């Protein structure tokens, strides 16, 4: 492990059992994330982005049939930990999660302060006073007034509750924070304020984030790297700068073209068809059926190709064949 | 989008008679304590006026709780206006009897945000589309079949025979929303109200649905009220944009003029808060006002945005309600900053 890679995920798989067959929610995802960087995982509903977060944090439902691969966090393969060790040493103390709609996941009958202190008291051997101080600090970091600590969740607005949930995740000083759709349930201005807060935390505390979102526009506010997921696979991974100017995978390009922009007038497109079922996904490229650039080779599963700037793309168009010739550049 | 050029220009649209005219509309909801004592009103709609022309789309943008859905529901007759008048093709709605209301309602299609919630799960596509015709006294089975075929073709749910026996849960989100649009179109309405029609859908489907609505509009010369919180879609879809804040329309503009220069500080903030996909965003902070929208039970005196506004003029903005200033021919705003710039 070198050049401060904090998280190194290799061939991570998470399959669920359902009545109609196994669902391959996360199917062989690999990526690396450096300390202090933010990775935005984007994709449409049902592409496996939330399952990826759950797989990293090992928050699994009961119907898991396959959970394999390696997750090397801070130099150690945490997949090898047993559940008890994982719970005590990793979850929440090293990797914290701000779940989807977390503003509504606060317990309505417990005061904010007590709720935020709870994970600290469970995971760390510290006094109540110490925990209270840490919670107050975290409240300051997310920009909430301290007198809100004594209130109940219903006395706070949606944006404030969301910030409280983020404060809860930050209070334990985790090395990695996973944010699952942190702002999509919020109003536009509240959302922009929240992104400002996250951006400030990122700059000042060098926190590493994984941001899971369906909103490519909002993702650009925080992301250093972008990962695009489609049908359980990570089909493109690139630095944000590279991705926003020149996405490579045909799906990423189509997705970018379907995002309306406020500041420039552009021709909008949409992607006909639907993503494949994850129960029996096609054996070849999973996007092939909807892809305008497909060719014979697409009926076999594409390899991951490395592009310049460390970007990777899982598409035959960029693969060098035996003759060393790239089909498309 | 190429379709924009085919649409009516604003002048052409306004040469016709308005489909809908709303005058000084107020909708208040009483708040009672213990179900009995009135403690006040929630002023969900507080003095809204505009005209809507055939073939035209008006976008209404604003955040949750600004009154945009109340406006839609008051026009649909789901809420009773407390004050003010609505005219549909010069007919005053308050003068309508029961039969007249039925007639009026059959002339407006309503598309709501959550397509799955809007479709009865126990009815097939065929039954869902027959229901409005049965209610409105269209009994001829052949006519039923003809209209169902026509609307399903228009919303591109093909092959039609495959879809007719399906139930809503068997359709994808985009298909469900197309079914909702088909149902709204089956009585051949003159006007559509689309309340956040794409906000629950995935990005790749959104544009498809919006283009579908646009196509229907062109073919049937429909007037559309498009309610949304997402500023980035409106430029592709509407001729005029109204911004709502605190139960009032605070800015009215042609789309072109608004995109060039938003006037009201709140609209400016909405622009600033909207992120286009651009890696440069990472490097800058957004200049957006903190705070929350006002309570509609006790709205602030004067301009409702003044507690959050960095341009506020002390002694004016916090005391007097700003009137509508016509700054350009196609652009007006209710903001004191423009009191000297208004056209005579």
Question: In the structure encoding, which two tokens stand for residue B30, read together?
Answer: 């009483």
Q: In chain B, pLDDT over 90 holds for what percent of residues?
A: 69
Separation in Å, CA of A323 to nearest CA in chain B: 36
**A191 and chain B in contact, CB less than 8 A:** yes
CA nearest to A167, candidates A138, A132, A209, A126: A138
From first to last of its 344 residues, what are the pLDDT tens digits of chain B?
A: 333 434 455 565 566 789 999 999 999 998 888 777 888 888 999 999 999 999 999 999 988 888 888 999 999 999 999 999 999 999 999 999 999 999 999 999 999 888 888 999 999 999 999 999 999 989 999 999 999 999 999 999 988 999 999 999 999 888 999 999 999 999 999 999 999 998 888 888 889 999 999 999 999 999 999 999 888 888 888 899 999 999 999 999 999 999 999 999 999 999 999 989 998 999 999 999 988 888 888 889 999 999 999 999 999 999 999 999 999 999 999 999 999 988 86
Q: Which A-chain residues 150-189 have CB contacts (< 8 A) with chain B?
A: 157, 159, 187-189
B278: nearest CB among A244, A267, A270: A244
Domain boundaries, chain A: 5-94+174-318, 106-173
pLDDT at B235: 84
Residues 6+ apart with CB under 8 A from A188: B63, B229, B231, B270, B273, B274
Per-residue model confidence as pLDDT tens digits over A75-101: 999 999 999 999 988 998 899 999 888
Enclosing H/E stretch for B249: strand B248-254
pLDDT at B12: 59
Per-residue model confidence as pLDDT tens digits over B114-130: 888 899 999 999 999 99
Separation in Å, CA of A129 to nearest CA in chain B: 31
**Residue A24 to residue B286: CA distance in whole angstroms:** 39
Q: Are strands B57-61 and B240-245 parallel, antiparallel or unpaired?
A: parallel
DSSP string for B170-203: GS-HHHHHHHHHHHHHTT--SEEEEESTTTTS-H
pLDDT at A272: 86
DSSP string for A164-217: HHHHHHHHT--SEEEEESSSTTS-HHHHHHHHHHHHHHHHHH--EEEEEES-HH
pLDDT at B211: 92
**Residue B304 to residue B296: CA distance in whole angstroms:** 10
**Residue A69 to residue A248: CA distance in whole angstroms:** 26
The arithmetic mean of pLDDT across residues A36-47, rounded, is: 92
pLDDT at A227: 96
Q: Report yes or no: A70 and A77 within 8 Å, Cβ to Cβ.
A: yes
CATH number for the domain whose boundaries are A5-94+174-318:
3.40.50.300
Residues A262, B202: C-beta atoms closer than 8 Å: no
**Residue A327 to residue B147: CA distance in whole angstroms:** 49
pLDDT at A325: 52
State residue B192 phi and psi, 5-degree precision: -120, 140
Q: Are strands B191-195 and B223-228 parallel, antiparallel or unpaired?
A: parallel
Residue A66, pLDDT above cutoff 50? yes
Burial letters B11-50, b for 16+ CB under 10 A, else e:
eebeeeebbbbbeebbbbeeeeeeeeeeeebbbbbbbbeb
B205: nearest CB among A215, A263, A270: A270
**Residue A149 to residue A265: CA distance in whole angstroms:** 45
B236: nearest CB among A220, A241, A268: A268
Taking contacts as CB-CB distances below 8 angstroms, the residues of chain B near A225 are none
Taking contacts as CB-CB distances below 8 angstroms, the residues of chain A near B295 are none
Per-residue model confidence as pLDDT tens digits over B257-292: 999 999 999 999 999 999 899 989 999 999 999 888
Question: In the structure encoding, which two tokens stand for residue A147, read together?
Answer: 């007198």
State residue B125 phi and psi, 5-degree precision: -55, -45
Q: Are strands A64-73 and A5-18 parallel, antiparallel or unpaired?
A: antiparallel
pLDDT at B203: 83
DSSP string for B103-154: HHHTTEEEE-S-HHHHS-TTS-HHHHHHHHHHHTT---HHHHHHHHHHHHHH
Report helix, strand or coil for A245: helix
Taking contacts as CB-CB distances below 8 angstroms, the residues of chain B near A213 are none
Per-residue model confidence as pLDDT tens digits over A137-160: 998 888 888 888 999 998 888 888
DSSP category for residue A296: G
Q: Report yes or no: B240 and B59 within 8 Å, Cβ to Cβ.
A: yes
pLDDT at A326: 56
Q: How confident is the model at residue A188 (pLDDT cuts 50, 70, 90)?
A: confident
Backbone dihedral region of B188: left (phi > 0), alpha (psi from -120 to 50 degrees) or beta? left
Taking contacts as CB-CB distances below 8 angstroms, the residues of chain B near A265 are 235
Torsion of CA B75, B76, B82, B87, to 10 degrees: 50
pTM higher than 0.90: no
pLDDT at B7: 47
Question: In the structure encoding, which two tokens stand for residue A111, read together?
Answer: 């005061």
């Amino acid at each position: 492990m070198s050049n401060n890679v904090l998280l190194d995920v290799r061939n991570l798989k998470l399959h669920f059992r359902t009545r109609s067959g196994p669902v391959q929610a996360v199917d062989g995802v690999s990526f690396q994330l450096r300390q202090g960087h933010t990775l935005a995982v984007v994709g449409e509903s049902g592409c496996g982005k939330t399952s990826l977060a759950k797989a990293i944090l090992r928050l699994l439902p009961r119907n898991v049939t396959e959970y394999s691969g390696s997750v090397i966090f801070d130099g150690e393969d945490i997949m090898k930990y047993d559940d008890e060790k994982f719970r005590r040493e990793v979850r929440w103390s090293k990797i914290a999660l701000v779940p989807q709609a977390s503003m509504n996941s606060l317990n309505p009958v417990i005061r904010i302060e007590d709720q935020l202190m709870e994970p600290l008291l469970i995971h760390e051997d510290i006094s109540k006073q110490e925990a209270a101080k840490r919670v107050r600090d975290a409240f300051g970091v997310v920009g909430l007034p301290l007198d809100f600590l004594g209130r109940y969740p219903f006395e706070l607005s949606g944006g404030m509750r969301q910030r409280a949930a983020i404060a809860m995740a930050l209070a334990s000083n985790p090395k990695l924070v996973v944010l699952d759709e942190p702002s999509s349930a919020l109003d536009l201005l509240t959302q922009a304020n929240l992104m400002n807060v996250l951006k400030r935390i990122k700059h000042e505390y060098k926190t590493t984030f994984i941001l899971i979102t369906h909103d490519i526009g909002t993702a650009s506010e925080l992301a250093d790297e972008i990962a695009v997921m489609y049908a359980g696979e990570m089909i493109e991974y690139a630095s944000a700068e590279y991705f926003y100017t020149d996405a490579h995978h045909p799906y990423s390009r189509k997705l970018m073209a379907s995002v309306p922009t406020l500041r420039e007038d552009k021709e909008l497109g949409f992607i006909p068809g639907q993503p494949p079922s994850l129960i029996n996904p096609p054996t070849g490229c999973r996007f092939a059926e909807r892809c305008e650039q497909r060719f014979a080779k697409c009926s076999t599963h594409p390899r991951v190709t490395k592009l310049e700037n460390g970007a990777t793309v899982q598409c035959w168009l960029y693969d060098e064949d035996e003759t060393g010739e790239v089909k498309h550049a | 989008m190429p379709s924009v050029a085919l649409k009516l220009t604003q002048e052409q649209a306004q040469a016709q008679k308005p489909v809908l005219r709303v005058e000084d509309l107020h909708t208040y909801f009483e708040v009672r304590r213990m179900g009995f004592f009135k403690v006040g009103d929630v002023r969900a709609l507080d003095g809204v006026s505009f005209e809507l022309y055939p073939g035209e789309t008006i976008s209404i943008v604003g955040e949750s709780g600004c009154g945009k859905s109340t406006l839609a529901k008051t026009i649909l007759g789901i809420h009773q206006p407390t004050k003010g008048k609505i005219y549909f093709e010069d007919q005053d709605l308050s003068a309508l009897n029961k039969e007249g209301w039925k007639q009026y309602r059959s002339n407006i299609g309503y598309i709501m945000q959550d397509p799955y919630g809007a479709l009865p799960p126990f009815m097939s596509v065929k039954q869902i589309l027959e229901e409005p015709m049965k209610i409105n006294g269209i009994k001829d089975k052949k006519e039923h079949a003809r209209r169902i075929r026509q609307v399903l073709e228009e919303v591109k749910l093909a092959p039609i025979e495959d879809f007719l026996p399906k139930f809503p849960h068997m359709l994808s989100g985009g298909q469900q929303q197309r079914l909702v649009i088909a149902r709204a179109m089956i009585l051949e309405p003159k006007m559509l109200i689309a309340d956040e029609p794409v906000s629950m859908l995935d990005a790749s489907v959104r544009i498809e649905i919006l283009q579908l609505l646009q196509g229907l509009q062109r073919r049937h010369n429909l007037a559309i009220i498009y309610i949304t919180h997402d500023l980035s879609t409106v430029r592709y879809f509407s001729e005029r944009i109204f911004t709502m804040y605190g139960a009032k329309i605070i800015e009215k503009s042609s789309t072109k003029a608004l995109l060039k220069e938003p006037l009201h500080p709140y609209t400016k903030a909405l622009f600033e808060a909207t992120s286009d996909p651009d890696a440069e965003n990472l490097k800058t902070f957004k200049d957006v006002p903190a705070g929350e929208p006002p309570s509609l039970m006790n709205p602030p005196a004067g301009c409702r945005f003044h507690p959050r506004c960095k341009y506020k003029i002390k002694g004016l903005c916090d005391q007097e309600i700003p009137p509508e200033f016509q700054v350009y021919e196609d652009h007006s705003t209710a903001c004191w900053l423009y009191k000297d710039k208004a056209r005579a």
